[in-house]
Each structure stands twice: as structure tokens, then as C-alpha cells.
Structure 1
């Protein structure tokens, strides 16, 4: 089932005044963070970011790339105590009356700031940058990185359509260029040793490439891309990524629904793609709801070697 995954943000909570780790660094278990909760209703806070959740059980975090990207942005700001953060999920097939009244058929992501709803991806990004406390620090200027990660996801979508060596080679080549930049710069993240908006964009896409690519067409990121694997090693240590990452099953189901919806419902002008996917979700086998969620986070090369990448 399709749901809304709702990170909600407000001004920093003064009660949680203990020191948090800087952006891009992990924290010890139990260290305070922006308020984070998973539930089934849309609660009222100063700001909120409504994101899509699991298409399997209607409660877990879902596989919407934009939702995870924006939530990671907000989580990093919560770590810096510029905002407080709470997450809830809303079943989009059976949304609560208040959500239905306020947003009708609008699909996530949705950003709510003091009652003002921002519904479009570009506007959400601009709002985080200009209006959310500390948000401007995440949006760095780096034309090389911006150009490099552009269109990566479109190459994955082409690969998933059917197994095709040429399309797989194009995706591998693109990943190779990212690996080359990381090796050349020798930094933990794309633009330095602290995270920025580009990392929040790239990391969810790498996870989709790894999980969905392997499942549908047996695509794997080569172990020879050591700088990229070093990057993913750090990615898997991040609280922002860990708390926002969907289960493998939800990533796989996300693409199953995309493939199933056109086959079952065609391209009817009366049924949008999102609605078709919602309807298809109802027809998925019930055993998927009972399957224990898994989260791929292993690194296939010796971690002790990763610190030397970029120094050779």
C-alpha cells in the first residue's frame, strides 16, 4: 500500500541541548537527535515534510527517492539543532480525514511550514535552502558534482526496463566517473568531509542501483570502484541515511509496481500513474507484508583498504 512518510520539523527543541555530532558524522546510540517517530497519523508541528512510505505495509518508510533526499536534508539540520524533527506515516490508500481534507489526492513529498503547504519538488528544495534554519549550509555550489550526478537515476530506469548490455554499460560508465571524482578528491563525501545536498541526492540513488539493479537484472557495482565503495561505506554509517533508508523489499516493490501498473491499467487518461500504482499495490501478494524487512549495507571489499583510496 502507498503511504505518506512524514518528517515534521520545527524550531530547535531547547530541551535537547546536548552536543550532537557535526553534519556527516555518526553518533553513538542514545545520543539525542531531532524528534523522530513512526506512526500512522499526521501530527501538527511548526513545519512538516510529508513523504511517501512503504507500498507493502503502509507503515514503513517507502522508496520515494525525493522523500528520502529531503528527509536526509532535514535530519542533518536536526543533528545541528537548527530544527526539531518527527516522522509519521500516513496510509495514502486510507488517509486520515484531516490529511484527506487538506491535501486531497496530492502525493508526497509535501512540505508544510506553519500551515503553508509546498507541494512541488523544486519549491520544497528552495524552501529548505532559503526558509528552514541552517538549510542554506547544505546547498553548496559545485558545477562538476552537479553535472556528474545528473541523469544517474534515468540510466538506472533504463537498465531496469530489461536486461541490456548497452544500457548496463552506460550506467557502469556513469558510476565510474563518480568513482573517479571521489578518488581524485580523496574526501569522505562529494564536496568535502561534511555532507551537502548533493550527497543527500546521490546516496538514495546508489542504494536503489544496488538493490533494484541486483534483483531485476543482476547488476552489481564492481569492486574495482574502490573510491565509490569507500563513499558507500561512510554512507552506511550515517544516522541520516540509516534512519531514512527504505527496506530492500520496499525498493524492489517500488519498481514492481511501476512495471505492473501500465500492464494492468494501460495509459488511461482517467487514471494517473500514481493512482494506477496504488491500485496495483492492492493486488500484490499478501506474503510480502509478512516478510521480514532486510537492509543491504554490506561492503564487498576489505574495509581496512578503503582509507587508502585516493592516496595512490
Structure 2
């Protein structure tokens, strides 16, 4: 199934002059097999390419594939290779590192997204792994380790004073971090009753800035798909009524955080 996106960005087959078309195949929802799934890498590269489509350097087509029932042409072309899969001018790029390298070196405008910042890379590289550890152990020690990593990102954003991790425009690091923060927010609340602390003002402002961008909202999976992603990892079966639920998307800022941010700006 092909997702419908904003035609002004040149996605999903909308051509803008002679700009090249790039296709990204992503995993479909494990609930309905049609909408966007909760694969972190799929959303990360979706965001990268969406930003380039907004800059009119490419036309982007996004295709979702139900990996429980992949269509015959997918099986014949890619065998057991799971998405994300990037197709550029007939060339299929199949693994994550190669996709990232291809966007950097071969997709028009891609080099603008991939800035060099070793400090930022170090600060964000382990935050998701610490969340997974907390999901497994469910103890105060692993919770505090996760909070420590989030605090470092919050402090970095405060010291930097910019909208995003390296400046006032999004880069590859933001496309990597924000999907993981969304999983931490949604799955953390559901499974652990964990909330990103409201006093991490710089981190919440960063999330608010990202929630306002189409690159994130168009690529973001439903809350139910994020939750089901971890249920499947834990061997928990989906209940029938979950298939019938209207998908929800947590992209608002908690009221107490909004009030705090307002007071800080006064």
C-alpha cells in the first residue's frame, strides 16, 4: 500500500520538473498491515528523505509492505530482506548503513543533512539502548541511567540554544533521535508509567519544535503501533478489539510542560 502525503513536497509519485524520484519501502503496521509501522529506521530515513523532498531536490514515493503477508513481487525482488529499502534509479539499497551512505553521497541535497558532530553523536547513541534496558529490568537503577542520558541531551540543547541538535534546521541526528524519543514517550508511558520529566525544558521544547514539522508528523507511527511493536517483542498477543481502534498520535506537549515553557519565555 502506498501512503498519501502532501503533494507540495513532491512525495509519492508527484513529480516536480526533472527532479529524480526516490522510493522508500517501509514496514507496514503490525495491526492493520496498511498504515505506517513502528520501525525506527523506517521513520528515520522517511524523515531524511521527506526533508529533501521539501527542499525540492527529490520526489519521494513511500510504500508500506505488510511483512506478515508480503506481496509476491516483493518476495521475488527482495526475498527475505526486511524494510527499510531504498530504491534510487532502479538501484535497491538494502541495509541501514548502505541507505545512510547512499543518502549522503548519492541523493541530491543529502550531504546537507549529514553534518559532522561527534559530541552530539555520542550523546544520542545510547539513549534508546538504555530505554530497552529499562523495559527489560524495570528497576530504579536502569530508570536512572535512562534519565541521565536524557538529561545530557537536555543540557546540550540548553547550552546550544538552537531549535534542534546542531542548529536551527533539522539534520540526520534529529531524524535519528526523535523517533526514539517518541518510542520512549509512548511505550515508556504504556509499559512503565514512565514520563520524560517536565523539568527537562530544553528537551520538551525540542520535541515541541519537531512535532510542528511535517517531516515528523507524516512519518510518525500511531501510538498503537508503537505499543504493539513491544508487545510482539514480549510475545504478547494482540487482542481483537485493538484492530478496530482508531489510531491515535501523541504529538502534543503535556499541559504542565506548556505552562513551564511559557513561564520561562516571559
The answer to whether TM tops 0.5 is yes
- Residue 142 in structure 1 maps to residue 117 in structure 2: yes
Residues of 2 paired with 1:6 and 1:199: CA distance? 25
Q: Show CA shifts across 1:250-278 (max 9, x none).
A: 000000001118xxxxxxxxxxxxxxxxx
> Does the CA-based 8 Å contact 1:6-1:48 persist in structure 2?
no
User: Who is 2:161 aligned against?
Assistant: 186
Change in Cα spacing, 1:105 to 1:31, as seen in structure 2 (3 Å) is: closer
- Residue 306 in structure 1 maps to residue 261 in structure 2: yes
Kindly tell me the number of residue pairs found equivalent between the two proteins: 259
- Residue 296 in structure 1 maps to residue 216 in structure 2: no
Q: Show CA shifts across 1:63-108 (max 9, x none).
A: 1000000000000000000001122222222222211110111111
Residue 117 of structure 1 and its aligned partner are, at CA, apart by: 1.4
Residues of 1 paired with 2:172 and 2:262: CA distance? 24
Higher helix fraction (1 or 2): 2
Which aligned runs of 4 or more in structure 1 are off by greater than 4 angstroms?
Answer: none
Residues of 1 paired with 2:2 and 2:145: CA distance? 35
> Does the CA-based 8 Å contact 1:46-1:115 persist in structure 2?
no
SS in 1 for 2:235: helix
Residues of 2 paired with 1:146 and 1:255: CA distance? 25
- Residue 176 in structure 1 maps to residue 131 in structure 2: no
- Residue 92 in structure 1 maps to residue 67 in structure 2: yes
User: Who is 1:115 aligned against?
Assistant: 90
> Does the CA-based 8 Å contact 2:113-2:170 persist in structure 1?
yes
SS in 2 for 1:244: coil
User: Who is 1:32 aligned against?
Assistant: 8
> Does the CA-based 8 Å contact 2:51-2:215 persist in structure 1?
yes
SS in 1 for 2:35: coil
Change in Cα spacing, 1:249 to 1:165, as seen in structure 2 (3 Å) is: same
Residues of 1 paired with 2:41 and 2:205: CA distance? 24
- Residue 224 in structure 1 maps to residue 199 in structure 2: yes
SS in 1 for 2:9: coil
> Does the CA-based 8 Å contact 2:157-2:203 persist in structure 1?
yes
Residue 140 of structure 1 and its aligned partner are, at CA, apart by: 0.3
Residues of 2 paired with 1:209 and 1:53: CA distance? 20
In structure 2, list runs of 5 or more residues that go unmatched: 14-19
Residues of 1 paired with 2:24 and 2:101: CA distance? 13
SS in 2 for 1:260: coil
- Residue 48 in structure 1 maps to residue 2 in structure 2: no
Residue 157 of structure 1 and its aligned partner are, at CA, apart by: 0.6
Change in Cα spacing, 1:307 to 1:74, as seen in structure 2 (3 Å) is: farther
Residue 47 of structure 1 and its aligned partner are, at CA, apart by: 2.8
SS in 2 for 1:51: strand
- Residue 207 in structure 1 maps to residue 186 in structure 2: no
CA-based RMSD = 2.4
Residue 219 of structure 1 and its aligned partner are, at CA, apart by: 0.9
- In the TM superposition, 1:8-19 aligns within 5 A as none
Alignment equivalent of 2:217, drawn from 242, 245, 256: 242
> Does the CA-based 8 Å contact 2:24-2:61 persist in structure 1?
no
Residues of 1 paired with 2:61 and 2:25: CA distance? 11
